Amino acid sequence: MKRVPLFNVVLVRPEIPQNTGSVARLAAATLSRLHLVGPLGFSLEDRYLRRAGLDYWPLVDLRTYRDWREFLLTHEAAGLRFFSARVEKNYTAVRYRRGDFLVFGSETTGLGREVLAAYASQTWRIPILEPGVRSLNLANAVSVVVYEALRQIGVPGG
């Protein structure tokens, strides 16, 4: 697919195919490119992944990478924005720009200590009001951030 994406959604080591399928559908709906950074916790042929994306897979602009190192080598100058439940800065404080890379970690381990330490100044969170809730579902978190980013760049309906 040859189009310039509004945003780039990056999932690092995603584990649950249904979440990734839902994010793929969101990426297609918002003209965003989806980047999957391995190792993945499932096969891209997984039936749950395909089912969650339904018939939208032909509209998904997908890129895959063996690991975080390969992703960084490919996109070293990218505008990276990281999201984690383990930081203080609110995601609405970000000034999103068209083409930004919105980076989310895996469902069970998040981005990991090394990434959080290396990119602390570029990491934000979505508030969770109930202290007993550790984190949001990955697909929900991606949706919240992508639609805030669309709103900020003035996309109609965003």
Domains and CATH numbers, the chain: 8-152 (3.40.1280.10)
Q: Is the pLDDT of residue 46 over 80?
A: no
pLDDT of 140 > 80? The answer is yes
Q: Please state, in angstroms and rounded to a whole number, the distance separating the CA atoms of residues 143 and 123.
A: 17
Place 117 in a pLDDT band, splitting at 50, 70 and 90.
Answer: very high
* Res 153 pLDDT > 70: yes
pLDDT, the chain, mean:
91
pLDDT of residue 158: 57
Does 95 score more than 90 pLDDT?
A: yes
Digit-coded pLDDT (tens) for 24-44:
999 999 999 999 999 999 888
**pTM (2 decimals)?**
0.93
